[in-house]
Structure 1
């Protein structure tokens, strides 16, 4: 059984598209470009693409904006910050900073699916400064320290 969560969406622009799920068990809802004409993103460039939407996520939840696999593999476009975060208290327009990782220009068309939104619960840390941390087998081993493969 899939858990469902009501999320209020407001269209800031009349031609905005409400997020949609591509299949019955999709974790991410597609976000759409709310633009009036094609936008070209040059190789290595980042452009902020509007969705025309604002949303009201319930307290204790965040919207995580991830790349769409098709857009990333076919056009080399993915969110510049890798994962965008929409906080539950944010009421502005949801924007996607798309970066062109390819070596050629890419075009975004009006209404094109540009990213996916995954809604997830989160925990807020209560940070306590201490003089020492508990010991573990790994210790302070960092990148690549847990194996050779």
Structure 2
């Protein structure tokens, strides 16, 4: 888990610097018709951080934990990330994920094998979900930065 924690922290630090170079106007432009803009992608990653924050903590506390799912498209639409200031979205994304890195680093090894469900789905281990969250973030960052 130590190498994953380091990769997570490095992903945040390196990409924050690159994202901060994007102008507010460019961050507002959708990547293609019907696709999210960089603001909406970062907004989605903030939503994902908020949902996974709950999962990473509650999966350690409760047996047979079943996390709620969330409607990603609707969350982005309701929060109108397009109207938010790009630099403020970036700061929130950065700080929230740095907090998650801290939480992940504190997960005891014996807790990583604990399983939980998301919206009644198949059980997954906490270890699996932490890595999946990082890969999900990296995929979306690649969509913005190319």
TM-score w.r.t. length of structure 1: 0.23
Larger Rg: 1 or 2?
Answer: 1
With normalisation by structure 2, the TM-score equals: 0.24
Q: Of the two structures, which has the highest relative contact order with CA contacts closer than 8 Å and spacing of 6 or more?
A: 2
